[in-house]
Chains A and B, each alone.
Chain A
Amino acid sequence: MFLLSSEALDPAALRQRLQRPDAGALTVFEGWVRNHHQGLAVLSLEYEAAPELCQSEGDRLLADARAQFDILDVLVAHRTGHLAIGDIAVWIGVASGHRDTAFAACRFLIDEIKVRLPIWKKEHYARGGATWIGAE
């Protein structure tokens, strides 16, 4: 399942949704908001998505992951809106029978999210000003 959320992500609740008796492994990746980028002190981030397109691309991405890896379940949640340092920007969980496929699928998902999903990030800097990353 792919979720876009304007609310804070709750990792315990997300993890709960993947629990199943035939899973022997759960790999989780959390992307956090950090306080620096290329030498600049970052105060906060804004994420903006093209919602319908992001949902359909997200669904397609998860279908690709299921086709490519022998996994049991997968959940990706991505934030939109204004995030503070330390907030979870993206949460990925992959449940599978064994650890190798869980790790591989998790890695695949975060790499693909970064290039495929219509989500943009604006960094607000301590020195003032803000930039849409990659787009200005």
Chain B
Amino acid sequence: MTVPPIYGLVLTGGRSSRMGRDKAALEYGGRAQADRAFDLLSGFCERTFVSARADQAELPGRAGRPQIHDVIENGGPAAGILSALRTHPDAAWLVLACDLPFLTGDVLAALVEQRDPARAATAFQSGNDGLPEPLCAIYEPAFLPVLEAFLAGGFKCPRKMLIQLGLPLLRLPHAAALDNVNEPAEFDAAAAKLQPLAVTVRYFAALREKAGLESESIQTLAPTPADLYRELSARHGFTLAAGQVRVALNGAYAPMSTPLSEGAELIFIPPVAGG
């Protein structure tokens, strides 16, 4: 059996009723969180889509992106997952809520690495209540009939579906990585915590040509070079995976997981070919 490819889905169809404004457009470090979620997912997925209601198609965070519109009304996040699985039933879907400001690429990397395609889904255990985290999870093609049966029975909470499946749950790399933000006061607190860093990135050889730049100074929320590389890959179309490049941080090779600091200078090193 071949393992289904992973497609990404950013959920933006929520009504944001508690927030009082469209959550997808909320900005951290100057970037709308739906855009950030899309970039993060793109680094791990063969194709990435935005899940939205049809009447949201032209809104920020959705416009100009490949979209999958809900095929049922008032289905909540389950409607987005259902619509994606029906549109591309041969793909596994890495589904991501758009309102996870503390999510970093290493969490998605851990999810993808520990994915078990033999099960209907792969999910983390919540750092808060120990229950499955349904909105940063991988749903395999085998999840579609399960989901349809739950919906037919009147269940539409994906968390309850995952509980019923009795999956072994993965441990989160950081307990707060999937804390979501639903209310204005939570947003203010998260935005205060997430201050972007100014860093300079220099490019050489293949990356220089691909980016069309010798260097750039950017503001980023990426906590590590690995996360920053994935962010830049989404922006510049780098094809090498984060695992294939090394980094020089402030003039010396360093692990890709080293915490970034203000003013850092980075050089991403594709496989070298001297001699």
Contact = CB atoms under 8 A, between A and B. Distances in A.
B269 A136 contact: no
Nearest to A92: B275
A56 to B, nearest CB: 6
Contacts of A118: 204, 248, 267, 269, 272
B167 to A, nearest CB: 39
Contacts of A122: 205
B250 to A, nearest CB: 10
B274 A113 contact: yes
Contacts of B206: 120, 132, 135-136
A78 B269 contact: no
A115 B248 CA distance: 14
B204 A31 contact: no
Contact of A135 (B205, B274, B275): B205
A56 B252 contact: yes
Contacts of A121: 273-274
B64 interface: no
A94 interface: no
A120 B253 contact: no
A50 B248 contact: yes
Contacts of B207: 135
A81 to B, nearest CB: 13
A22 B223 CA distance: 53
B272 A134 contact: yes
A115 B274 CA distance: 8
A49 B208 CA distance: 12
B274 A47 contact: yes
B273 A50 contact: no
Given A120-B270, A136-B206, A57 B253 contact: yes
A117 B271 contact: no
Interface string A113-136: 111111111100000000011111
Given A50-B269, A118-B248, A31 B205 contact: no
Given A117-B274, A121-B273, A50 B240 contact: no
A21 B239 CA distance: 53
Given A48-B205, A49-B204, A52-B251, A119 B270 contact: no
Nearest to B274: A119
B202 interface: yes
Interface string A48-63: 1110110011000000
A118 B269 CA distance: 7
Contacts of A47: 274
A78 B209 CA distance: 22
A114 B275 contact: yes
10 closest cross-chain pairs (CB), A and B: A119-B274, A134-B271, A120-B205, A135-B270, A135-B206, A132-B206, A121-B273, A133-B273, A114-B275, A117-B274
Interface of B: 202, 204-209, 239-240, 248, 251-253, 267, 269-275
Given A116-B272, A117-B272, 16 more contacts: A48-B205, A48-B208, A49-B204, A50-B204, A50-B248, A52-B251, A110-B275, A114-B273, A114-B275, A118-B248, A120-B204, A120-B206, A120-B272, A134-B273, A135-B205, A135-B207
28 contacts: A50-B202, A52-B251, A57-B253, A78-B274, A78-B275, A89-B275, A110-B275, A113-B275, A117-B274, A118-B204, A118-B248, A118-B269, A120-B204, A120-B274, A121-B273, A121-B274, A132-B205, A132-B209, A132-B270, A132-B273, A133-B273, A134-B271, A134-B272, A135-B205, A135-B207, A135-B240, A136-B206, A136-B239
